[in-house]
Structure 1
Amino acid sequence: MALLDIKPKSECAYDCISLGEIMLRLDPGEGRIRTARYFRVWEGGGEYNVTRGLRKCFGMDVAVVTAFADNEVGRLLEDLVMQGGVDTRFIKWMPFDGIGRKVRNGLNFTERGYGVRGALGVSDRAYTAASQLKKGDIDWDTIFGKYGARWFHTGGIFAALSETTPEVVIEAVQTAKKYGTIVSYDLNYRPSLWKAIGGEKRAQEVNKEIAKYIDVMIGNEEDFTAALGFKVEGNDENLKSLNIEGYKNMINEVVKTYPNFKVVATTLRTVHTATINDWSAICWADGKIYQSREYKNLEILDRVGGGDSFASGLIYGLMTTGDPEKAVNYGAAHGALAMTTPGDTSMADVKEVEKLMSGGSARVVR
């Protein structure tokens, strides 16, 4: 029996659809936000980054469900999304009042970090169009019934945007399940977001309800602890070293609590400096735990989006091979490569991912 009962491509317009907010990322490059004289512009968002990676790296047909304020910034975001090859037909456009008093588009100022200086994100996202989405705003029956998707991905960042977005997530995952679509969810705990709507207590209430509908659950140690209430024993406070057995024990507890989970995956990152990390991942499937190749002392240009690229590689591997060991290695390799380039989104291609998976070197290619 297959690990996941994924619908055939012939029955669906899309391999994967995601739900999440997309912000305009303003990047000061090698400098600091506080002293910048110019910013480079990217688009990014935890859930969107996954589908964009599936399109640009792995060649899959994808779409995003989100909302933008209908102004020039919103149209810039739309253009960036289209450049990423992601279908924009399900974007909800909200009227702009001229100054953003009622609705606006989110901004994310992000420093990459270097050496002893960690990466820094400063979000400016109150009253955004995506945060104001509510139950009933999106015609999920048309999306999953008429168009069809083999896979649906969303996560805890979107769920934390407002009091109404958890209801949108639950409505979406319930409808996806009704039409036989595989559902993945990245916990992606952000204390700065949950603080505004009830903190860790509210995060657990929301995520424990959403978890009932999830097939593939993704998150790191902090995510599982803060968002679902599970503990990893044996890690030091600053995560300078990781207790792998503690992670395995935690995952075994997770799947006992949520028997609907078919796959549980977590990234493993030891931060030596902002630019030197140990990086790998594990996933649980069919009662077994699989560990990816380890990338020791991985040199990082921009760590933001590494976890999202892990998720897209994992999803690609599960969809195309059905082999959890290959899938976790696709994820870890894709995440590693994504962190060698600027911006939230991956610039890798599948040949580079597979070369890295097989132990290929960084020798020049001519």
Structure 2
Amino acid sequence: MTAVDLVALGEVMLRLDPGEGRVRTARSFSVWEGGGEYNVSRALRRCFGLRTAIVTALADNEVGRLVEDLMLAGGVDTSHVTWLPYDGIGREVRNGLNFVERGFGVRAPLGVSDRGNTAIAQLRPSDVDWDALFGGGVRWLHTGGILAGLSDTTPDLIEAAIDAAHRHGATVSYDLNYRASLWHGRGGRERAQEVNRRLLSGVDVLFGVPTEAPVSAATFAGHVDDLVKEFPRLRVVATTLRRVHSTNVHDWGAIVWRDGEIAESRMREGLAVLDRIGGGDGFASGLIYGLLTGLDLSLAVEYGVAHGALAMTTPGDTSMATLAEVAALATTAVADVSR
């Protein structure tokens, strides 16, 4: 495998979007690919111009091949996709579907996922040649709590990837991304926290620490101190700050700790939002870009916040922003007309 900047490990689903309407009354859908871990990899490729790959699994049928086609359009290396035989009706293995309403005003966004018994939920650590993957020169592994919640065996998959990343000197990032639906009937939040604690011992960069906006730098630093005592490998802890006024109006920012240094973005108040799904992944990819390319931490945070904001102005999970747009928004407070 050619050296890459980042490999994402996670599920890639087909998102079905009824546009301005409701899932329950829709007669047509737009389709996109998406997944918490994958979205970061795609954005780093399409927006930021880095080399990225995805490790995932799909059932080998027409839906799986549609997801592959969408990933190829995103420019992500798909050579490490594991294809599982399809049994004709999905009794044994399936591809994940995600029906998502963007919401509007007082109507909140709504996601209805159909992802039980999907291909990656059945992937085992031995199904991937981790040393061949990371031995090719991978700089960064990104994964997270969505994959960890898919089945009782996916934490083993993540652990194997983290161990291999460490052997080959790659940085490991993990987005907590708690989803109640994934843990329903499986121990809920307490079980999710137990699994995350097991995996965080190998994590260098942590996203998604629950934090309410506004938060002071001192309060955040105290929270991070507790985390680092429990997980001393951590070098970066980052979280977005969001206050929701309505589905389409948010206050939006972020705060990041790195080895004792705190950087907090400007708070973008009254941000207009078309589709909030993927905003956090947009932040993560922008920050990772800044860290990989050696930007000053304060500027890296602004890149993350700007990219997340731009990702929320377009439909679908994945970013349609350009690096020039991100750089301009990161260093200015107002978007002006481009002529």
Which of 81, 98, 110 aligns to 1:91? It is 81
Which of 314, 321, 327 aligns to 1:348? It is 321
Matched, 1:128 2:118: yes
Partner secondary structure for residue 116 of structure 1: coil
The answer to whether the 8 Å contact 1:18/1:154 transfers is yes
Matched, 1:287 2:269: no
Q: Distance in 2 between matches of 1:298 and 1:138?
A: 42
Q: Distance in 2 between matches of 1:149 and 1:171?
A: 15
Other-structure match for 1:251: 224
Q: Which amino acid aligns with 1:18?
A: A
Other-structure match for 1:161: 150
Other-structure match for 2:331: 358
Deviations 1:150-186 (A, max 9, x none): 1110010001100010000001001100100011110
Q: Which amino acid aligns with 1:183?
A: V
TM value normalised by structure 1: 0.90
Deviations 1:58-94 (A, max 9, x none): 0000000000000000000000000000000000000
Deviations 1:111-152 (A, max 9, x none): 00111111110000001101111221111111011x220111
Once the two structures are superposed, the pairs formed by residues 97-116 of structure 1 within 5 Å of their partners are: 97-116=87-106
Which of 220, 242, 259 aligns to 2:214? It is 242
Once the two structures are superposed, the pairs formed by residues 306-321 of structure 1 within 5 Å of their partners are: 306-321=279-294
Q: Distance in 2 between matches of 1:174 and 1:191?
A: 27
Deviations 1:261-314 (A, max 9, x none): 110000000000000000000000121211012111000000000000100001
Other-structure match for 1:214: 203
Other-structure match for 1:46: 36
The answer to whether the 8 Å contact 1:112/1:302 transfers is yes
Partner secondary structure for residue 201 of structure 2: helix
Q: Distance in 2 between matches of 1:329 and 1:40?
A: 31
Equivalenced residue count is 338
Other-structure match for 1:7: none
Partner secondary structure for residue 123 of structure 1: strand
Q: Distance in 2 between matches of 1:21 and 1:144?
A: 19
Matched, 1:331 2:304: yes
Cα distance change of structure 1 residues 340 and 220 upon mapping to structure 2, 3 Å threshold: farther
Deviates more, 1:194-203 or 1:38-47: 194-203
Q: Which amino acid aligns with 1:352?
A: E
C-alpha displacement at 1:204, in angstroms? 1.6
Which structure 2 segments of 5+ residues have no match?
A: none
Other-structure match for 2:3: 13
Other-structure match for 1:227: none
C-alpha displacement at 1:191, in angstroms? 1.2
Q: Distance in 2 between matches of 1:131 and 1:316?
A: 29
Other-structure match for 1:265: 238
Q: Distance in 2 between matches of 1:39 and 1:50?
A: 24
Q: Which amino acid aligns with 2:36?
A: G
Matched, 1:151 2:124: no
Deviates more, 1:324-333 or 1:168-177: 324-333
Deviates more, 1:283-292 or 1:80-89: 283-292
C-alpha displacement at 1:354, in angstroms? 0.6
Q: Distance in 2 between matches of 1:196 and 1:130?
A: 20
Deviates more, 1:23-32 or 1:197-206: 197-206
C-alpha displacement at 1:205, in angstroms? 1.7
Which structure 1 segments of 5+ residues have no match?
A: 1-10, 222-231, 236-240
Partner secondary structure for residue 136 of structure 1: helix
Deviations 1:11-53 (A, max 9, x none): 9610100000000000000011111111000000000000000
Q: Distance in 2 between matches of 1:205 and 1:13?
A: 34
Which of 51, 59, 65 aligns to 2:55? It is 65
The answer to whether the 8 Å contact 1:162/1:197 transfers is no
Identity of aligned residues (%): 59
C-alpha displacement at 1:325, in angstroms? 1.6
The answer to whether the 8 Å contact 1:266/1:283 transfers is yes
Q: Distance in 1 between matches of 2:51 and 2:226?
A: 35
Q: Distance in 2 between matches of 1:188 and 1:113?
A: 20
Q: Distance in 1 between matches of 2:336 and 2:221?
A: 35
Q: Distance in 2 between matches of 1:196 and 1:356?
A: 43
Q: Which amino acid aligns with 1:309?
A: G
Deviations 1:201-224 (A, max 9, x none): 221221111111111000041xxx
